[in-house]
């Protein structure tokens, strides 16, 4: 019996791009592709990708159970909300039932984020932190995040791994980073990451750095991010048993760039369009952080989480195990900054 697959978050930036790339990926045979949607319009939209829409509440245990068990769903790619782990826990319980009923292998992918492997979440940043590090689970277990919000996301990663092990489910912790480029889905086509830089600059009429030193952060073009989801799906469907559980971390990144370089490239694009007057980057003081927080809709101490930080998380696993090769270099985000800013401003909805 071949797999029934469910994708959640199909109307989002990452999930929509994944659905859009599905057909041309020529994946190995599976039985059915389902997409979780929340409106009749979304239900109609996902059909163009060959997906059967399912409307249910991902935060209601009995609804998740019915959707997963009644449809014998054995592969879930979860692309909504990296924290807390409420929805994930319902999916895992239901998938354990599918495993029991069918005796087949079942797979759950949890989409987290590079932030959960950064200074914001208490991860080590004194050297490269490889996604293939055999001690990564222990590292994550030991992390003490400076923000409760971030600790919930760390705990969600650990929960998914431990709970999956308990049920014999193969779990994957998929970490997108600063994803950029125009989304290809039917819903949201803008990344939540680069938009924060533009939004803060729009409020402040200037781009501010929020860190001392010259921290870097991993980056990835949306097409490369999509291709990693696809390559992982390919291995699962072909029964090749890709690394999972405590060895199932996958960072989708082509490399890293310095925040300062990203700010500078985006500031040039913002100045060109009259959003800011001075493209020089300056360090934010407490007053600036307060104002930026208001503009971003978050408390001042959280601004640095939205706009900066130290992350040495390094992609190694997918290239070695899945043969994943990003098409774009990390520096491409700097060359593309003008187009990214232009697209964000044309579609801004804050
Ligand atoms: N974009 C990035 O650069 C990036 C980087 C790191 C991590 N991530 C993480 O990756 C995940 C997807 O990101 P994204 O950029 O695709 O976000 P997005 O564009 O905001 O999409 C979010 C998706 O989740 C769905 N959703 C939200 N709440 C839901 C609920 N209660 N029940 C069912 N569906 C719900 C949304 O559906 P509706 O359209 O119906 O609201 C939408 O499909 C997020 O968890 C995000 O934190 C993203």
Q: What's the pLDDT tens digit per position in 205-239?
A: 999 999 999 999 999 999 999 999 999 999 999 99
Residue-wise pLDDT tens digits, 293-335? 999 999 999 999 999 999 999 999 999 999 999 999 999 999 9
pLDDT at 192: 86
Percent of the chain with pLDDT over 70: 100
Question: How far away, in angstroms, is 17 Cα from ligand 1 center?
Answer: 12
Between CA 116 and CA 137 the distance in angstroms is 12
Residue-wise pLDDT tens digits, 10-25? 999 999 999 999 999 9
With a 6 Å cutoff on the Cβ, whether 13 touches ligand 1 is: yes
With a 6 Å cutoff on the Cβ, whether 181 touches ligand 1 is: no
Tell me the pTM: 0.98
pLDDT over 70 at 1, yes or no = no
Q: Give me the mean pLDDT over the 194-208 stretch.
A: 96
Half-sphere exposure of residue 295: CA atoms within 13 angstroms, side-chain side: 22
Q: Which residue puts its alpha carbon closest to atom 21 of ligand 1? A: 12
With a 6 Å cutoff on the Cβ, whether 15 touches ligand 1 is: yes
- Pairing mode, if any, of strands 52-55 and 129-130? unpaired
Q: Which residue puts its alpha carbon closest to atom 34 of ligand 1? A: 9
With a 6 Å cutoff on the Cβ, whether 113 touches ligand 1 is: yes
Residue-wise pLDDT tens digits, 118-159? 999 999 999 999 999 999 999 999 999 999 999 999 999 999
For a mutational test of ligand 1's pocket, the pick from 10, 13, 42, 220, i.e. the residue with the most ligand atoms closer than 8 A to its C-beta, is 13
Between CA 22 and CA 234 the distance in angstroms is 11
Domain 4-190+217-253+311-327 has CATH 3.40.50.720: yes
Residue-wise pLDDT tens digits, 283-295? 999 999 999 999 9
For tokens 């449809």, the residue is: 71
Q: How far is CA 13 from CA 17, 100, 182, 188, 191, in A?
A: 6, 34, 9, 5, 6
Between CA 253 and CA 121 the distance in angstroms is 19
Q: 91 pLDDT band (50/70/90 cuts)?
A: very high
pLDDT at 82: 78
- Residues forming a β-bridge with 107: 75, 170
pLDDT over 90 at 97, yes or no = yes
With a 6 Å cutoff on the Cβ, whether 9 touches ligand 1 is: yes
pLDDT at 81: 83
Q: Could you tell me which of 235, 242, 12, 249 has the C-alpha nearest to residue 129?
A: 249
Residue-wise pLDDT tens digits, 74-84? 999 999 987 88
The residues spanned by each domain of the chain are 4-190+217-253+311-327
pLDDT at 180: 97
277: exposed, middle or buried (C-beta count within 10 Å: 0-12, 13-18, 19+)? exposed
Atom of ligand 1 nearest to the CA of 188: 19
Q: Could you tell me which of 50, 104, 95, 57 has the C-alpha nearest to residue 77?
A: 95
């Amino acid at each position: 019996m071949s797999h029934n697959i469910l994708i959640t978050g199909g109307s989002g930036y990452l999930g929509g791009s994944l659905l859009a790339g599905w057909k041309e990926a020529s994946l190995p045979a599976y039985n059915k592709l389902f997409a979780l949607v929340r409106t009749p319009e979304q239900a109609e939209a996902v059909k163009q990708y060959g997906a059967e829409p399912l409307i249910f509440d991902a935060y209601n245990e009995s609804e998740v159970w019915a959707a997963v068990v009644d449809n014998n769903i054995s592969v879930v790619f979860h692309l909504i909300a990296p924290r807390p782990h409420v929805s994930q826990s319902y999916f895992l319980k239901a998938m354990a039932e599918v495993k029991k009923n069918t005796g087949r292998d079942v797979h759950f992918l949890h989409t987290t984020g590079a932030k959960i492997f950064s200074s914001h979440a208490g991860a080590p940043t004194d050297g490269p932190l490889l996604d293939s590090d055999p001690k990564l689970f222990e590292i994550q277990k030991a992390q003490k995040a400076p923000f409760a919000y971030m600790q919930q996301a760390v705990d969600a990663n650990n929960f998914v791994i431990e709970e999956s092990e308990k049920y014999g489910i193969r779990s994957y912790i998929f970490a997108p980073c600063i994803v950029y480029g125009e989304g290809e889905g039917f819903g949201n086509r803008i990344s939540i990451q680069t938009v924060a830089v533009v939004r803060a600059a729009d409020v402040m009429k200037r781009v501010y750095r929020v860190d001392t030193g010259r921290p870097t952060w991993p980056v990835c073009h949306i097409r490369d991010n999509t291709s990693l989801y696809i390559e992982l799906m390919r291995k699962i469907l072909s029964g090749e048993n890709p690394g999972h559980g405590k060895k199932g971390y996958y960072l989708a990144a082509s490399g890293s760039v310095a925040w300062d370089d990203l700010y500078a490239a985006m500031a040039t694009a913002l100045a060109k369009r009259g959003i800011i007057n001075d493209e020089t980057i300056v360090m934010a003081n407490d007053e600036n952080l307060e104002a930026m927080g208001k503009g971003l809709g978050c408390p001042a101490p959280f601004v640095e989480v939205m706009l900066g930080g130290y992350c040495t998380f390094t992609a190694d696993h997918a290239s070695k195990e899945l043969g994943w090769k990003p098409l774009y270099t990390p520096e491409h985000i700097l060359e593309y900054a003008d187009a990214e800013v232009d697209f964000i401003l044309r579609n801004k909805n804050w």
